[in-house]
Amino acid sequence: MKYIALLYGEPDAGPAPGTPEFMKMLGEFQSATAAMADAGVLRYAAMIPSARYGSVEVRPVMVMGAH
């Protein structure tokens, strides 16, 4: 089964784009994605960096057809 993680947060919560803090968060996204891929599971919601500034909702996705 496949899942999708929906990220929710207040508009001004978290670092602003272009700031060093934002660039750090992008690096954290890359690290988290690599760790999830290495584990064979790309839906470890707690590892998503922006979860610190809002919430993450994980929902199952219906896969239609062959993939």
Residue 66 lies in a domain: no
Distance CA 35, CA 20 (A): 23
pTM of the predicted model as reported, rounded to 2 decimal places: 0.66
Name the more confident of 42 and 5.
Answer: 5
> Is 54:12 a contact under the CB 8 Å cutoff?
no
DSSP 6-43: EEEE-TTSSPPTTSHHHHHHHHHHHHHHHHHHHHT-S-
Number of compact structural domains in the chain: 1
pLDDT band at 27 (very low <50, low <70, confident <90, very high): very high
- Indicate whether 67 belongs to any domain: no
Q: What share of the chain has pLDDT > 90, as a percent?
A: 25
Q: CA 14 to CA 22: how far, in whole Å? A: 8
Region 35-51: mean pLDDT is 81
**pLDDT digits 0-9 by tens, 48-58:** 888 888 888 88
Do the domain assignments include residue 45?
A: yes
